Amino acid sequence: MLAIAIATWPELALADPRSPFSPITPQATTIANLFWLILGIAGVIFVGVEGAIIYATVAYRERPGRTPAQFRGSPRLEIAWTAVPALILAVIFVLTVQAMNALAVPTGDPLEITVRGHQWWWEFDYSQNNFVTANEFHVPVGQPVILHLLSDNVIHSLWIPQINGKTDMIPGHERTMWFTPTRTGVFLGQCAEYCGVQHAWMNVRLVVQSEPDYAAWVRDQQQPAAPATGLAREGEQLFVTKTCVSCHAIAGTAAQGIAGPDLTHLGSRATIGAGVLTNTPENMARWLANPQEVKPGSLMPNLNLTSHEVSVLTAYMESLK
């Protein structure tokens, strides 16, 4: 049964881009292997116990003229069914501790990223490279990465199943997550600790790139926003005069707010509102017109913009590549 499961799980798992059974790091592979091993042990026990119950039910069912054997206690059996489960649990305990230690081992010269959980979005601070981004982060393939996980509000939990296990982000207590991606691609995750009304829309995207592609991405992120022209220019002027600036930063402009996501390169991200909408001009306009209709409870208020204001701001946001 286990052999069949192992033979088919990659195909099953690849259907879901967030499957922990499709690991892309040694860390997630360690977790998946431990899972399959424990599932195998539990499977053998399940089949054995259920088989014994079914056998006993049939073989020793009530029959006329037959009296069940009468006895009381059996030290040998008592010891056996205490010792065997204890031994099995001890083996699982040792394997689990080994796996946990393997997950915590620093390797090589890591890329360090500080991740802050907010209600309800993710902030990625590449302080080594002097830029900040939100909800989508990139790393180079093959290099160890350490994430420093922080929160200044409630408890969140970062879970990108293909890279490592879920790790809580606890206010006032830094935690870390290591991973070394072994292949390129886009890997999805989400907040795995209930953190308020929009917990379900606290999605995260990890983009693993080749070394040159990653270097190019970093160079782009380090640039201030390109000067806006035309409609986008009008949008920029509106942006810095509206309440937008009290929450958002756009490098190269007067906007330096830190309460909301940094928008310097918003136009290059795949989604809006931590995954709630794909990033298209139509969706951007819908989001700006009434964020509370799209993501009720989010801290982005309805600014009651006119349709002209929405269209110039949309042009500006989409120009922030």
Q: Which residues bind ligand CUA (CB under 6 A)?
A: 117, 120, 156, 191, 193-195, 199, 202
Residue 19 or 135: the one with the smaller Cβ distance to ligand CUA is 135
CA atoms within 13 A on the CB side of 56: 7
Helix H or strand E encompassing 179? strand 175-179
Mind giving me the DSSP string for 261-293? ---TTGGGSSEETTTTEE--HHHHHHHHH-HHH
**In angstroms, how far is the first alpha carbon of the chain from the final one?**
50
Residue 118 or 138: the one with the smaller Cβ distance to ligand CUA is 118
Provide CB contacts within 8 A for 186, sequence distance 6+: 17, 205, 206, 207, 208, 270
Least separation in angstroms between CB 157 and ligand CUA = 7
Q: How far is CA 229 from CA 99, 221, 248, 313, in A?
A: 54, 20, 20, 12
Residue 117 or 144: the one with the smaller Cβ distance to ligand CUA is 117
Nearest to 275 by CA among 51, 120, 108: 120
Least separation in angstroms between CB 190 and ligand CUA = 8
Q: What angle do CA 19, 214, 133 make, to 5 degrees?
A: 75
Task: Return the bridge partners of 173, or none.
Answer: 170
Task: Return the bridge partners of 124, or none.
Answer: 115, 133
Residue 140 or 275: the one with the smaller Cβ distance to ligand CUA is 275
* Sheet of strand 175-179: strand arrangement: 131-134, 121-126, 111-118, 145-151, 175-179
Residue 193 or 236: the one with the smaller Cβ distance to ligand CUA is 193
Least separation in angstroms between CB 20 and ligand CUA = 18
**H helix intervals, 159-229:** 211-222
Residue 175 or 199: the one with the smaller Cβ distance to ligand CUA is 199
Least separation in angstroms between CB 159 and ligand CUA = 10
Least separation in angstroms between CB 269 and ligand CUA = 18
Residue 199 or 286: the one with the smaller Cβ distance to ligand CUA is 199
Helix (H, G, I), strand (E, B) or coil at 164: coil
Least separation in angstroms between CB 117 and ligand CUA = 5
Least separation in angstroms between CB 144 and ligand CUA = 25
